[in-house]
Chains A and B, each alone.
Chain A
Amino acid sequence: MKSLQLQKRILSFAHRDGVAEPQSELTSLVDTLGLGIPSHVLSSSPPQFVALQIALEGGERVENHLDTLDTTGAVSEDSQQQS
């Protein structure tokens, strides 16, 4: 998947129903995957830019992670818990 498509997918993930703080979702994605994204980018950049960095840095790993969340239903369970 191209980086811009993946960025879009990451943004949809962070903004899914029931998520109160999309920025925290992005930070947690960075932590879970151990991506080397500088903390000042995470704290001060717009979500679109953070998602782009995650896409460029994580590539296929992010895709696989999101696929797993989709298939295990973790995303929808999380959503339900938060909503």
Chain B
Amino acid sequence: MTKSVELVFGAGGVKGYFHIGLLKAIEELGIKVDKVTGVSVGAIIATFFTNGMNSDQILKLFLEAHEKSGNPLLLASAVTVPDMKSFLVGMSFLSLEKPWEETVEHLGLLPNDRLRIVACDARTKKAVLFEGTSYKLHLALSASGALPGVFLPVHFDDKMLIDGAAYHRNPDEFCKTTAIISALGFATRLSLELQDPISAYFQWREVYLPVVQQPTKVDETRHVLVAHEADDICGLAFNLSTKRCMWMYEQGYKHGMQVLRQAIADGKLEGSAEGGSESAATAD
């Protein structure tokens, strides 16, 4: 019987396409995945995957959503009048709660035993985990992606929760077995691709004034790290061309395939090192 591993999808906004490419490689290599931990965009992909979607389906949904992401009207449902405390933490008028509540309901997504979502307590900066089947999924997803300065925090019990990346971009410590860690790097230079003013601002901010540049280090003796690099793409560059998104997907697949094959050869993972190809087949 093949031993299953855990999977961690780290934070990184639009760079989540790398995760989807890696997921494709995992499927083709026949690696059995048990629990999936997700932070921010990683939490979204973890939710789709543990609800039963495969990489092709997730890619298709992401690309379709991406086509609409340039529409500022989309932000309308996120605009809210915050209480003073929330505003002082989030410095924003945008809340992810309503859009996620609608999306979770509309897509029929459920919390489940294979899913672990990580958010961060704004006051203590400690991790807050959403696990099991009895929490409100839209709150967990909203909290995990509530990047201060862009989105308002989420009230939960007596806490205010913010983006799990403020705790750790790739939290591996909660994994009980060997895990594959899909880590998305930071933008460290400005993009040469022409961007809209909002994306250009976020790019500038991630390079020069990062809000969330918290720990990224993972235990490589225990886990398999797949580190994806795209130093000119910032997490909030939602107006990227589809070509660039597909490039990230392809790179995630190729690099993931390379690292995972090696891990199988080293006996760290179980799977078929012969599986897969050199290029990811794209979704319809």
Identify the A interface with B (CB < 8 A).
2-4, 7, 38, 40-41, 45-53, 56-57, 59
Contact = CB atoms under 8 A, between A and B. Distances in A.
B284 A46 contact: no
B108 A50 contact: yes
22 contacts: A3-B60, A3-B61, A7-B107, A38-B52, A41-B52, A45-B51, A45-B108, A46-B110, A48-B105, A48-B106, A49-B51, A49-B52, A49-B107, A49-B108, A49-B110, A51-B108, A52-B108, A53-B53, A53-B57, A56-B61, A57-B57, A59-B284
B107 A56 contact: no
A48 B57 CA distance: 15
Interface string B35-53: 0000000000000000111
A3 B107 CA distance: 11
Nearest to A52: B107
Contact of A56 (B51, B53, B110): B53
Contacts of B109: 49
B57 A4 contact: no
B265 to A, nearest CB: 30
B196 interface: no
Given A2-B64, A48-B105, A48-B108, 9 more contacts: A45-B51, A45-B52, A46-B108, A46-B110, A49-B110, A53-B52, A56-B56, A56-B57, A56-B61
Contacts of A53: 52-53, 57
A21 B90 CA distance: 45
Contacts of A4: 64, 106
Contacts of B51: 45, 49
The SS class assigned to the B binding surface is: helix
B201 to A, nearest CB: 29
Given A2-B64, A3-B64, A49-B107, A40 B52 contact: yes
Nearest to A2: B64
A51 B64 CA distance: 17
A8 to B, nearest CB: 9
Contacts of A7: 107
Interface string B125-153: 00000000000000000000000000000
Contacts of A57: 57
Contacts of B53: 53, 56
A30 to B, nearest CB: 13
Interface in B163-191: none
B106 to A, nearest CB: 6
B76 to A, nearest CB: 18
A51 B53 CA distance: 12
A5 to B, nearest CB: 10
Among B56, B57, B107, B108, the one with the most A-chain Cβ atoms within 10 Å of its Cβ is B108
A56 B60 contact: yes
A41 B112 CA distance: 13
Nearest to A59: B284
